[in-house]
Amino acid sequence: MSNPLLSIRDLHVGLPHRRRTDEIVRGVSIDVAPGEKLGIVGESGSGKTLTMLAVVRLLATPPLAVLKGEVMLDGEDLLKVDERRLRAVRGGEIAMVYQDPMSSLNPLLHIGSQIEEALRAHGASSDDAKRRTREVLQQVGLADPERVRTSYPHQLSGGMIQRVMIAMALSTSPRVLIADEPTTALDVTIQRQILELVTSLQAETGMAVLWVTHDLGVVASLVDQVVVMYAGRIVEKASTHRLFERPSHPYTAALLESLPGLGTAHRSALHQIGGTPPDPTRLSAGCPFRLRCSYAIEKCAHEEPELIDRGDGSAAACWRDPAQW
Amino acid sequence: MNKILAIGRRILSVLVTLWGVSVIIFVVLRLLPGNAVTAAMGVSEGLLTHAQVAALNRYYGVGQPAVQQYLSWLHATITGNLGISLSSRMAVSTLVGTALPVTLELAFFAMLLGLLIGVGFGMFSALHPGRWQDDLGQTVSVVGLAVPSFILGTVLVVFMSTKFHYFPSSLGFIGFFTDPWLNFQQIIFPALVLSLGIGAAILRTTRAAVLEVSGLNFARTALGKGVSRKAFIWRHLFLNALTAVVTMSGIQLGYLLGGTVIIEQIFILPGMGRLLITAINNRDFPVVQSVTLIFAAGFVIVNMLVDVAYSLIDPRTRKR
């Protein structure tokens, strides 16, 4: 792998209280190279969104806070840069598409002025911003970009808003795109279209993409590398191909089993993982997945496994060797 | 076409409201003991004979059935004739003509100062929650809400006159066009007193609304785009808090019309409030009715302006 463009190192995010601190993200490290597509997969509450928000310092602080760690963009620690530099990075070098797009646009401003605002904040002239706005709205497959540009958010459908959000993020040609569940409200054809758009832009500009999702199906078709998160930690990191072929963590294996596939018999029940994800602020000793794990052993109750390299580009945090499952 | 219809409906609702107000004013005034003749002519002192009282009653129409009195008042008012003051024998429109500008000027300055205090400290508070700036704002709002304007007004008058021998009102009221500087000195202190309560209410609303908005997703989106702090604060936070601020300002402006009654008394300003109090004491019905109706009209107009402001600010309220 070439030098990482964005490197999250040992990131800890939590809720500091007077006497104790609840950790929600517990030591996450992720590297992304230019042009790389990385998927971040996990159930709700696994800490994937918080990790991404921490990258551009958009955590709701207080109550949340980065407790420890570094976020290096091309060798510069974003957690330490001043406000001015941070503003240049946000939207300019790292753009985000947020969960819940319907509430992510200012309800009182035109779509056009909101996209133009992003462009102008990063040095575009008024005319250029207008032209570029039309261009990106067209690129994300909106049928009538001119109408969308002059519309208010409440006049558009959920799918249109989601495409607007993606257009806004892509408008400044960022070096890193962080997309948090960006296609959940879109139907499959539009999803496909967006994924293709991002892929083609990536080829053009060498943009790195972090695709946060709970949908392994999206991951399979889009990304090169996958990071699987559980209870605030990375439990498995592997190339997409490797992950689907031979998962090294029981949680990943269970996620894959619950995917509906072509081979799944009609009307047969989908596999589901028993139990619920643990409250990350109330973890006891040991592996947080052990209570839902079919392969747990005595050791899992006492000691939490570290993320260990398994060779051939895969790492997993599990005491058991998949060969012994 | 739709727009004309909407405006028409709005005007109609204003008229209906004002009509309702006129009925209430009329009924309430008739329920008061005594009438214009007894109050103005000194019947209680026994200076007039019964025959004289009856003649006066007939002359002023006091003896007529209430409905007839109401209708003749309504007719006169609609045609622009507010009647003659029973105590001063001057046309009510003349009295109102000199009193209304004073009150409007007072209300204007009070509102302006209130907005400056409210929005200024409110934004200052909301942008630094939990820090000293916020404590300062909260202190201003508690003081503003807790100190009644008549106490503050009295204290201010006593303090200014005894400590500084400063009597801007002693010359009698000077109109703005006669001597703007003297007029300003007479208006600014009562306006300041009134503005404190208004400012406190607007401050609280501004702070709460801005804090709420800054926790919403689109505020995060704006930050994530890397917009300047100025744009973030005003285009995203304040703009979205503005409907709440406008609503509160409208309510306060409505109250303000009533609030001037006391303040005008304390600062001896010949405005609508003083006109009203004097008229009530004299059972001067034509004046009381007209002044009250004008206060009510002011309230209704302010509400209408607030509604118009909503549709200017928030596109979601436009299409209906």
DSSP B198-224: HHHHHHHHHHHHHHHHHTSHHHHHHHH
Substitution target from A52, A104, A175 for chain B, most B beta carbons within 10 A: A104
pLDDT of residue A188: 74
Residue where one domain finishes, among candidates B29, B52, B78: B78
Residue where one domain finishes, among candidates B12, B44, B78: B78
Residue pLDDT, tens place only, A50-90: 999 999 999 987 789 899 999 999 989 999 999 999 999 99
With beta carbons under 8 A apart, name residues in chain B contacting A56.
Answer: 224
Residue A43 has pLDDT above 80, yes or no: yes
Is residue B74 domain-shared with residue B145, that is, in the same domain? Answer: no
- Structural domains counted in chain B: 2
Predicted confidence band of residue B223 (pLDDT cuts 50, 70, 90)? very high
Is residue B290 domain-shared with residue B162, that is, in the same domain? Answer: yes
CA distances from B9 to B3, B12, B14, B250, B318 (A): 10, 5, 9, 21, 15
**CB burial class (10 A; 0-12, 13-18, 19+) of residue A21?**
middle
Question: B272 or A183: which carries more pLDDT confidence?
Answer: B272
Residue A26 has pLDDT above 80, yes or no: yes
Q: Is residue B86 part of a domain?
A: no
pLDDT of residue B54: 78
Nearest-CA distance from B230 to chain A in Å?
Answer: 12
d(CA B105, CA B122): 25
With beta carbons under 8 A apart, name residues in chain A contacting B236.
Answer: 106
d(CA B288, CA B85): 9
Pair of tokens at residue A181: 């569940």
A168 touches chain B (CB under 8 A): yes
Residue pLDDT, tens place only, B94-129: 999 999 999 999 999 999 999 999 999 999 999 998
Q: Which alpha helices (H) appear in B165-270, and where do they start and end?
A: 180-214, 217-225, 229-231, 239-266
As separate numbers, helices (DSSP H) first and strands (DSSP E) second, chain B gives: 13, 0
Sheet holding A208-213, edge to edge: A94-97, A176-180, A208-213, A37-41, A225-230, A233-239, A314-316, A308-309
Q: Is residue B87 part of a domain?
A: no
State the pairing for strand pair A233-239/A314-316.
antiparallel
Substitution target from A106, A166, A172 for chain B, most B beta carbons within 10 A: A106
Is residue B264 domain-shared with residue B123, that is, in the same domain? Answer: yes
End-to-end CA distance of chain B: 14
Minimum Cα–Cα distance from A52: chain B residue: B224
Question: B5 or B128: which carries more pLDDT confidence?
Answer: B128
Beta-bridge partner residues of A228: A41, A236
CA distances from A239 to A225, A316, B220, B238 (A): 4, 12, 32, 46
Is residue B159 domain-shared with residue B257, that is, in the same domain? Answer: yes
d(CA A203, CA B66): 87
| Least confident range of A1-5, A26-30, A158-162 | A1-5
Residue pLDDT, tens place only, A126-142: 999 999 999 999 988 88
Q: Write down the mean pLDDT value for chain A.
A: 87
In B, residues 184-213, which contact A (CB 8 Å cutoff)? none
pLDDT of residue B37: 64
Contact A90 B226 (CB under 8 A): yes
pLDDT of residue B199: 95
pLDDT of residue B71: 87
Beta-bridge partner residues of A178: A96, A210
pLDDT of residue B248: 95
pLDDT of residue B44: 56
Contact B225 A118 (CB under 8 A): yes
pTM score: 0.84
Q: What is the CATH number of the domain that holds B296?
A: 1.10.3720.10
Nearest-CA distance from A197 to chain B in Å?
Answer: 21
pLDDT of residue B45: 59
pLDDT of residue A192: 77
Pair of tokens at residue B150: 């008549």
d(CA A318, CA A310): 10
Predicted confidence band of residue B36 (pLDDT cuts 50, 70, 90)? low
pLDDT of residue A308: 84
Query: Which residue from A83, A91, A152 is facing B225, i.e. has the nearest CB?
Result: A91
d(CA A91, CA A184): 22
d(CA A39, CA A97): 14
Query: Which residue from A89, A98, A108 is facing B239, i.e. has the nearest CB?
Result: A108
Contact B228 A87 (CB under 8 A): yes
Is residue B173 domain-shared with residue B111, that is, in the same domain? Answer: yes
Q: Which residues of B76-106 are buried (b: 16+ CB within 10 A; e: fewer)?
A: ebeeeebbbbbbeeeebeebbeebbebbebb
Nearest-CA distance from A211 to chain B in Å?
Answer: 17
With beta carbons under 8 A apart, name residues in chain A contacting B229.
Answer: 83
Contact A109 B217 (CB under 8 A): no
The label of the residue with tokens 């019964």 reads B50
Is residue B162 domain-shared with residue B216, that is, in the same domain? Answer: yes
The DSSP H or E segment spanning B71 is: helix B66-78
Pair of tokens at residue B131: 């820090």
B75 touches chain A (CB under 8 A): no
Question: B239 or B47: which carries more pLDDT confidence?
Answer: B239
With beta carbons under 8 A apart, name residues in chain A contacting B220.
Answer: 58, 98, 104
Question: A267 or B24: which carries more pLDDT confidence?
Answer: B24
Q: Is residue B292 part of a domain?
A: yes
pLDDT of residue B205: 96
Residue B172 has pLDDT above 80, yes or no: no
d(CA B256, CA B92): 23
Nearest-CA distance from A114 to chain B in Å?
Answer: 9
Query: Which residue from A87, A96, A106 is facing B236, i.e. has the nearest CB?
Result: A106
Task: For residues B31-57, give the mean pLDDT.
Answer: 68
What sign has the CA pseudo-torsion A183, A189, A192, A197? negative
Closest residue by Cα to residue A249 from A285, A201, A294, A203:
A294
Sequence letter at residue B91 = A
State phi, psi for A209 to the nearest 5 degrees. -125, 130
d(CA B33, CA B35): 7
Sheet holding A76-77, edge to edge: A21-32, A6-16, A65-73, A76-77
Contact A83 B313 (CB under 8 A): no
pLDDT of residue A185: 66
pLDDT of residue A147: 94
Is residue B146 domain-shared with residue B110, that is, in the same domain? Answer: yes
Residue B43 has pLDDT above 60, yes or no: no
Is residue B39 domain-shared with residue B122, that is, in the same domain? Answer: no
Query: What is the percent of chain B where pLDDT is above 70?
Result: 92
Residue pLDDT, tens place only, A200-215: 888 888 899 999 988 7
Beta-bridge partner residues of A28: A11
Contact B316 A91 (CB under 8 A): no
Predicted confidence band of residue B39 (pLDDT cuts 50, 70, 90)? low
Q: Is residue B51 part of a domain?
A: yes
With beta carbons under 8 A apart, name residues in chain A contacting B232.
Answer: none
Query: Which residue from B218, B224, B236 is facing A90, i.e. has the nearest CB?
Result: B224
A224 touches chain B (CB under 8 A): no
pLDDT of residue A190: 74
Q: Is residue B288 part of a domain?
A: yes
pLDDT of residue B227: 93
Nearest-CA distance from B136 to chain A in Å?
Answer: 21
Substitution target from A94, A108, A162, A171 for chain B, most B beta carbons within 10 A: A108
Domain range for residue B42?
2-78
Question: A188 or B268: which carries more pLDDT confidence?
Answer: B268
Q: Is residue B83 part of a domain?
A: no
With beta carbons under 8 A apart, name residues in chain B contacting A89.
Answer: 226
Predicted confidence band of residue B42 (pLDDT cuts 50, 70, 90)? low
Q: Is residue B120 part of a domain?
A: yes
A95 touches chain B (CB under 8 A): yes
With beta carbons under 8 A apart, name residues in chain A contacting B318.
Answer: none
Nearest-CA distance from B79 to chain A in Å?
Answer: 43
Residue A267 has pLDDT above 70, yes or no: no
Residue where one domain finishes, among candidates B21, B43, B78: B78
Cis preceding linkage at A62, omega within 30: yes
pLDDT of residue B137: 93
Is residue B220 domain-shared with residue B299, that is, in the same domain? Answer: yes
Nearest-CA distance from A129 to chain B in Å?
Answer: 14
Is residue B107 domain-shared with residue B213, that is, in the same domain? Answer: yes
| Least confident range of A187-196, A246-255, B252-261 | A187-196
Pair of tokens at residue A274: 């028993």
Is residue B71 domain-shared with residue B98, that is, in the same domain? Answer: no
Residue A4 has pLDDT above 90, yes or no: no
B147 touches chain A (CB under 8 A): no
Residue pLDDT, tens place only, B65-86: 788 888 888 888 888 888 888 7
d(CA B222, CA A58): 11
Contact B218 A100 (CB under 8 A): no
The DSSP H or E segment spanning B104 is: helix B92-127
Is residue B236 domain-shared with residue B283, that is, in the same domain? Answer: yes
Predicted confidence band of residue A325 (pLDDT cuts 50, 70, 90)? confident
Residue A8 has pLDDT above 90, yes or no: yes
Nearest-CA distance from B3 to chain A in Å?
Answer: 20
Contact B240 A90 (CB under 8 A): no
Task: For residues B196-215, give the mean pLDDT.
Answer: 95
